[in-house]
A and B are shown apart, each in its own frame.
Chain A
Amino acid sequence: MEEKKDKIVVKDLYKIFGPKPERAFPLLEQGKTKEEILEETGLTIGVQNASFSVREGEIFVVMGLSGSGKSTLIRMLNRLIDPTSGQVFVDDRDVAAMSKDELVALLRKDMSMVFQSFALMPHMSVLENAAFGLELAGFPREEREKRAMESLDQVGLKAYASSYPRELSGGMQQRVGLARGLAVDPSIMLMDEAFSALDPLIRTEMQDELLKLQAEHRRTVVFISHDLDEAMRIGDRIAIMEGGRIVQVGTPEEILKEPADDYVQAFFRGVDPTNVFSAGDIVRDQQVTIIRHEGGGPRVARERLISQDRFYGYVLDANRKFIGVVSVDGLKEIIKRDGDAAAMDSAFIPEARSVHIDSTMQAIIPYLTGSPWPVPVIDGDGVYKGAISKNIFLETLYRVDPTEADEPAADAS
């Protein structure tokens, strides 16, 4: 992923609404806020000083509350709104500086858009809607209908080709919107709150649909959303907007772990971190590990646990691969039973299972609840990485809850 080149590069992009927008620039330089500028000049700052890049083939989510400028931002990428200043490079060509004809050519070939309100043509059939982009681009009827049919097939709506949008449910209508966007086979898809108008169940279904389509054919997707769960679910990277500015760009994890400011943190109210953090994010290497070798038997192991005041020990082989979990009591029992012949292996707690480092916190819960010992975590090669205790797990939940974040979290972490 790191190797991917930038598909869209946005540089110093501004959109100021109102007559003579240049008037706002000196005020912005003085550090005046949006509200102050509106009061002084009547100008509305839509987007200010936005710079970011979207890598080829990734889903880039722009997130913000309503009025944060995200819709304006996405509309400047295809010039539904003309930027006041700044550049938008698509494949190194500046969209903001393009002539009308160049822009039309780019939009017909390289970019398509999916809208929150679906924006289907009520007077056209589903097939005609799906073929709309191709029709505008001047493809002959036969070819455009063939390609539209293929994209309808991709979203599972082939059977509805001759229906009209009003006859379909919201989810199906947005599938048509998606098919319309796919039919032109663009390298970039802009999705403006594409799933926000759908009810939660359908929304999740559509997110899966998008991920499925991405798996089949990677396109660069810029996705606008006000829903953090959605952003976390589908975004490879997320940009967070506030008051027309981009306040943070990063992977979902980076943002959740280190929110740039209170505004970003405010988004996390109500977000379930167990879907975002993985075992690797919360694992601690504080447990007693016991390397199994010829010299060290159960007695030594027991001594070490007692001296460290621990009840459970994690047995590894010479390569630090995880083998099993033993307890003080378990070791005592086999020593009593087998004496000097006691083998470490027979003291393993049979129910003790390790979890993979990439498992989500959500996936670990059943292991944690089922065992009094901290759950061991391994990587892809079976190497022990540490363990997760119930305490650590709860602490993580506690720490990311911003409502409590202020005072007590400080000593918890």
Chain B
Amino acid sequence: MAEGFFSFDEAMYPLEDWIEVVVEWLVANHRSEFQAMKWPVEKILWGIDHFLNWLHPSVVILGFVIVAWRYAGVRTALFSLITLIVVGTLGMWSETMTTLSMVISAVFFCTVVGVPLGIAASQSDNFAAWIRPVLDAMQTTPAFVYLVPVVMLFSIGTVAGVIATIIFAMPPIIRLTNLGIRQVPMELIEATKAFGGTRQQTLRRVQIPLAMPTIMAGLNQTIMMSLSMVVIAALIGAGGLGVPVFQGLNSLQVGLAGVGGLSIVLMAMVLDRITQSFGKPKSK
């Protein structure tokens, strides 16, 4: 076995303790700020949740069918209709609406924060280089690792779940906004400059419109990742479709977990089909 420095059997410095000290310090001194950050998320989340649960299921289904029809065509509309009815008949309607409102509010914040960050990254190589490892960390750090500090700072509940979801689901929209803008052909940027276009005009009139399909692909990925996060969010007391899955897991009720899981998959398919069509030019 290796001797001396390279024995690597025990930690040589107490990073573990340092992290604890930092988090505890944040909790002790800045919990109120973090709690304040909850406020907008909470308002939007509960607003959407109450609205969706207040609406008659048939209205929600009709809404989905209309949007699907307009953007993705008859087949997707039909698919959405059947899928949502199946989810309803599984007895998961209310949970599905809660999950949907969690996804919508998480995606809302991801977009509001992520698109400007993506644009900033596309304009500055330095910023892009700096934000890249942060995005890597956001995407790959196991959710369970940051659930603990999230709970300590934001307490348990659906709002904390949404905040964890935002962290996890934001990277794709930042990355793809950046990528989409950078992929706009150089000659179009040159043409805009040659006619006296400012950077602002180039962004607004050329880069963002042309990057739209890619940004939409980012939005789609963000939605998918939000959905996959809802089960985990149930661990910290979030409601929605994660609850039956989590309960099923705890009490070995395979059926219950299966029904929750199936509902999540069906919702994911509906949202995926519909949002994938957003970035594409209309087929007709």
Contact = CB atoms under 8 A, between A and B. Distances in A.
A123 B191 CA distance: 14
Interface residues of A, number: 28
Interface in A173-189: 180, 184
Contacts of A111: 194
B192 interface: yes
Given A80-B190, A117-B187, A121-B188, A112 B209 contact: no
Q: Interface residues of B: mostly helix, strand, loop or mixed? A: helix
A104 B205 CA distance: 16
A137 interface: yes
Interface in A98-149: 103-109, 111-113, 115, 117, 119-123, 132-133, 135-137
Interface in B199-218: 201, 205-206, 209-210
B196 interface: yes
B188 A133 contact: no
B91 interface: no
Nearest to A75: B190
A105 B198 CA distance: 11
B195 A113 contact: yes
Contact of B201 (A103, A109, A112, A136): A136
Given A117-B187, A119-B187, A121-B188, A78 B194 contact: yes
A135 B192 CA distance: 11
B194 A107 contact: yes
A117 B190 CA distance: 11
Given A115-B187, A119-B187, A190 B194 contact: yes
A104 B206 contact: no
Contacts of B187: 115, 117, 119
Nearest to B188: A119
Contacts of A121: 188, 191, 206, 210
A123 B194 CA distance: 19
B43 interface: no
Contact of B197 (A117, A120, A136): A136
Contacts of B198: 104
A111 B192 CA distance: 12
A119 B206 contact: no
A23 to B, nearest CB: 23
A190 B191 CA distance: 11
A180 B194 CA distance: 11
Contacts of A107: 193-196
Given A117-B187, A120-B191, A136-B192, 12 more contacts: A80-B190, A105-B196, A106-B196, A109-B196, A111-B194, A115-B191, A119-B187, A119-B191, A121-B191, A132-B195, A136-B196, A180-B195
11 contacts: A75-B190, A104-B196, A107-B194, A109-B196, A112-B195, A117-B185, A119-B185, A119-B188, A120-B191, A132-B192, A135-B205
The 3 closest A-B pairs by CB, nearest first: A108-B196, A107-B196, A119-B191
